[in-house]
Amino acid sequence: MRALRIILIVVVILGGLFVIADRVAVGFAEDEAADRIRSSEGLSSTPDVSINGFPFLTQALGGELDDVEIGIKDYEASTGGTGAATDKIRIDDLNAEMHGVAFSGDYSSATADRATGTATIAYDELLKAAKSQPTNVLPGVTAQVTGLSDGGHGKIKVAVLLKAPRLGIASRSVSVLSSVTVKGDTVQVHADSLPKVGVDLAEGKVRSITDFQQKIDELPGGIQLDKVEAAKNGVEISVKGSDVKLVG
């Protein structure tokens, strides 16, 4: 009986040491992976990396991780321009969950079999794609988008300022509810209906102001836009990808 108790104590101690070693190893791997991703993607800050699943060591020995979560703050995506600083759009939060991540022993390369995630773009950032400067829609009539906000039920509320002094409209603020969709690598905003302002404006002219689009390109690892919906603080975009290259 005494020998059995000793064996049990040894097993418990060894199990505890294994758990400690496993957690130390996963912490090191998370830090190393975060540094590699920061360097590979040219990020201004180190992302958050969480390697899920236990034990980590057996996954590491097999060269593939079941589930890895990555969080990036203030990621600057390309808008497909000429490469100037103004051809960027800031994503406040980009979070992705990677599955089936195969990696090399020195973490110099890592590729996920598939990935899903979310990205949040603030309304003031998306506003840059709209015509926020006064634009002629008719002789003597100008319009401009002055703000974007949550319109409820997944819609964007687009605030438009009209000025037509010659027609007796010094300044009038109107708003429209717009649907937001994804087509390829582009977020599109389209007014559900146009406001009645007492002035006969051609629909095409008005839509040249209310409707706009924003290309979002070069997301980490080649993940792609999937779906988009208006939310309280901005648009929330679902992203997905396969054979996503994290490093290397």
Query: How many Cα atoms within 13 Å fall on the side-chain side of residue 195?
Result: 18
The answer to whether residues 76 and 83 touch, using CB atoms and an 8 Å cutoff, is no
| pLDDT score for 24 | 73
The dihedral through the CA atoms of 203, 209, 210, 212 has a sign that is positive
Strand partners, 201: none
| pLDDT score for 248 | 63
Strand order in the sheet with 48-52: 48-52, 64-78, 88-103, 110-122, 234-247, 224-230
For residue 228 the two structure tokens come to: 């988009």
Report the run of H or E that residue 164 belongs to, with start and end.
strand 155-164
Quote the pTM value: 0.81
**Residue 174: which of 149, 145, 202, 150 has the closest Cα?**
145
38 torsion bin: left (phi>0), alpha (psi -120 to 50), beta (else): alpha
Residue with tokens 């687009």: 158
| pLDDT score for 206 | 79
Q: Which amino acid is at 63?
A: G
For residue 123 the two structure tokens come to: 């309304």
Contacts of 183 (CB under 8 A, 6+ apart): none
Reading the chain (248 residues) residue by residue, the pLDDT tens digits are 555 555 555 444 544 545 666 677 788 888 888 888 888 888 888 999 998 887 888 888 888 888 999 999 999 988 876 555 568 899 999 999 999 988 876 667 888 899 999 999 999 999 988 877 888 877 778 888 999 999 999 999 999 888 877 766 677 888 899 999 999 999 999 999 877 665 556 677 778 888 999 999 888 888 999 999 999 999 999 999 999 887 76
Q: Which amino acid is at 134?
A: P
Strand partners, 187: 182, 214
The answer to whether residues 175 and 146 touch, using CB atoms and an 8 Å cutoff, is no
Residue with tokens 């199990």: 15
**Residue 126: which of 82, 90, 87 has the closest Cα?**
90
Q: Which amino acid is at 203?
A: E
Alpha carbons 21 and 27: distance in angstroms, whole number: 10
| pLDDT score for 13 | 52
